[in-house]
Amino acid sequence: MLAWVTIDRQHKPYLSPIFARAIHKGDWDENSIGWHEFCVVLNENKDQLINVDVYQNLNKNIKVHVVTVESDFKNWLPKDKYYDSIDFLAKYDPEELSKKISSQDLKKCIDYANNSHYQEIHQIKNKNDVVDLMEANFGFHDAHIDEIITKDDKTKILFEKSWGSQIEMTFEKYVSYRVEPYDTLATDWWGDGSLFSKNGFWFLCNGEDVDTINDAKNCGIYFSGKKVSYRVFPACY
């Protein structure tokens, strides 16, 4: 797993693998427990592990400080429903991991990070790529289109900042799209979104769990094209 991490306003976002995820210990109810998730990542200097709360400023304007951009769980082990980690770190208590990790295991983490390569412009080719995009933007929840730019046979969509990231998507080859009058760019926020492939085309629409062309075209907003790629910009602040 790989993520954009933002410590605070004084630090620039940086990329780090996520080595463990868990819920802070506490008497949380089922409705709020997810807001207390934290991730174990490398610090900005990539020489120590630190704990970073995914959601911060819960009482006012929630900020997302860890935005997952690659969600591959290869070599991960679940410990319980609220905790999982990369396999060689499963022996640690997640809240104590960053303080009690051995020098040998820390070196493994640093080596793992050094061998991680992030593709800034990511072409969507399969369902795993769709999962990564949905992780980065919370399934298009609260998405809002800021700008649509069409040049030749290419259409670029820039979404507003939301849930810690800003998404840019580009459709290419035989592109078509529609934005219904009642779904104006100035006023419409998506509840959810769907991205799927049919008959050699990729379809994006502002509907939940849509997987047919007719249903996509019946949504207020839809885009389609033979190729689609995206970029994730960290946008915590």
Tell me the pairing of strands 154-159 and 145-151: antiparallel
Interatomic CA distance for residues 207 and 192, integer angstroms: 6
Q: Which residue has the tokens 């997952």?
A: 68
Q: What's the rounded Cα separation, in Å, for the pair 95 and 100?
A: 10
**pLDDT reported for residue 182:** 60
Q: Is the pLDDT of residue 30 over 80?
A: yes
CA–chain centroid gap for 199, Å, is: 27
Contacts of 107 (CB under 8 A, 6+ apart): none
Instruction: Report residue 67 as tokens.
Output: 């935005």
User: What number is the average pLDDT over the span 122-129?
Assistant: 96
Average pLDDT, stretch 28-32?
A: 87
Q: What is the pLDDT of residue 184?
A: 61
Cβ atoms of residues 69 and 135 within 8 Å: yes
Alpha-carbon distance 203 to 62, whole Å? 30
Flag whether pLDDT at 127 surpasses 60. Answer: yes
Phi and psi, residue 198, nearest 5°:
-145, 135
Q: What is the pLDDT of residue 59?
A: 74
- Name, in order, each residue with C-beta under 8 angstroms of 64's C-beta and a sequence gap of 6 or more: 54, 55, 163, 164, 165, 236
Question: What's the pLDDT at 187?
Answer: 52
Tens of pLDDT, residue by residue over 144-187, are 999 999 999 999 999 999 999 999 999 999 999 988 766 565 45
Residues 55-80: tens digit of each pLDDT = 998 777 789 999 999 988 888 888 77
Q: Model confidence over 39-48: pLDDT tens digits?
A: 999 999 999 9
